[in-house]
Amino acid sequence: MCFSNLYKRKVRTLLTTVGVVVGTCAIIITVSLGVGMQQAQEEALSQMGDLTIINVNSYGISPDIDPLDDAMLEKFRELDHVVALTPAYQLSNWGSISITSGKYMYDSMIYGVSLNDLEALGYKLTEGSWPGEEGVKENTVYFSSSAVYDFYNTKKRSNNRVYEGSGKDPFVDPNKDKMKFVVSSQKENKKPKEFDLVYGGTMEQDWSKSPSSGWGVFVSVDYLKKLENEYNKLNNITVNKDAKKSYDSVTVKVDDMNNVAAVEEVIQGMGYTTNSMETIRKPMQEKAQKDQLMLGSLGAISLLVAALGIMNTMMMSIYERTREIGVMKVLGCFISDIRTVFLMEAGTIGFLGGVLGVGVSYGVSYLINTFGGGGSQDIYGALQGGIGSTSVIPWWLVVGALLFSTLVGLLSGIYPANRAVSISALSAIKQD
């Protein structure tokens, strides 16, 4: 009955539906522009660094705070949403540990890290492979892309290096040449100690990481501490075992950027200073949400105007169908059923207008992304709002627009429906 009544008044129904289409389209497009701006901001921030990374520092913490040691790292791992972490351990004596391959030596930076977490932390390899489920040998080494150029010829005093970018191959190829760790001795009567190492791979250059994969060599933090202990024994260096040992910094990765603030707050509550991209992202996100609300409100005005059109259409329908209403009452129809008929007609107009509005919105969004500098080069990318898109229509916006347009239709039909059921049956059937 609902569809039959609407079809009988095709032109009026069509014109009223068009008003809903325009209102729905206005809401979706305006909000999609706000979503596109927010996505562009997050993409720009992601190029500056990983949005799910928290850097924890132990500088300047109170002496009463527990040290940032292995025990504290285990507490960090047990926090909700933490998926990986690594310290950035450095030798206390620069050059105490080196890597040699024949007459060539590397004595630059060596980092002690959690090798099993590097892949989860976003480090990438250009060669080799990450540790599997069984882990890696304790003496496994990963090189940064530039570290191989830091090997120098110990037999020469000049021109003993190959510089990166010179077009020449480095002296050492870690994948082929045999290499060893060398623990240096400060005394002439003691020989340095040598330890075998296993080449794990070469990492892609990424200066946004901490520690950066653009420079240095990475080895298991436990093994680096072991080599450092060998250096202390070899050189008769006494270490205070009662002193609190603490890492200078630890990198923590969270499963989702929306959980960064909560994890960061917990770590700060433990007494440590932290920094992350959240300090930049949060104000930008709040501004983007305000922009979306403002743009959506402007679009909602169009839909509210359409609601007046639906109300007007239903009121005219009631005046034209007064006799029909009277007949239904005389035949014994429930008041609630008569009210439902008119509410369904109003809701159907709202729903159909919403569906068509969604379709039109996707078309407008496609045109904006294709010709408005959105960057999407194919239909799927333009419709889905790919990377660099100006207009992005997420699924929740589509569902919300459909529900809103249907609700507007139903609300617009309440007064006309109540008007219909209040008509006297006797006077209604006398109506021509």
Identify whether the C-beta of residue 281 lies closer than 8 Å to the C-beta of residue 83: no
Co-location of 103 and 247 in the same domain: yes
Contacts of 399 (CB under 8 A, 6+ apart): none
- CB neighbours of 225 closer than 8 A, spacing ≥ 6? 89, 112
User: Among the three residues 262, 278, 294, which one is the final residue of a domain in this structure?
Assistant: 278
Of 278, 311, 340, which residue sits at a domain end?
Answer: 278
Q: How many percent of the chain have pLDDT more than 70?
A: 88
* Residue 292 and residue 270 in one domain: no
- Both tokens of 422, joined, read 């209040």
Residue 243 pLDDT: 67
CA separation for the pair 211, 112 (Å, rounded): 10
The whole model's pTM is what? 0.63
Domain residues for the domain of 110 are 53-278
Looking at the structure, tell me whether residues 214 and 73 fall in a common domain.
Answer: yes
Question: What does the pLDDT look like over 305-362, one tens digit per residue?
Answer: 777 777 777 777 776 667 777 777 777 778 788 788 878 888 888 899 889 989 999 9
Highest mean pLDDT among 32-46, 101-115, 394-408: 101-115
> Are 7 and 106 found together in one domain?
no
What pLDDT is stored for residue 133 in this prediction?
65
Chain-centroid distance of CA 367 in Å reads: 26
Q: Check whether 385 has a pLDDT greater than 60.
A: no
Is 83 in the same domain as 230?
yes
| Mean pLDDT computed over 205-229 | 89
DSSP 135: B
Single-letter code of the amino acid located at 106: Y
Tally of CB atoms within 10 A around 155:
9
Do 94 and 32 fall within a single domain? no
Q: Are residues 125 and 198 in the same domain?
A: yes
Beta strands in 66-174 (DSSP E): 82-87, 89-90, 97-101, 104-106, 110-113, 125-128, 140-143, 152-153
How many Å apart are CA 117 and CA 121, to the nearest integer? 6
Considering the domain architecture, whether residues 72 and 181 belong to the same structural domain is answered as yes
pLDDT in tens, 170-185: 889 888 899 999 999 8
Task: Count structural domains, the chain.
Answer: 2
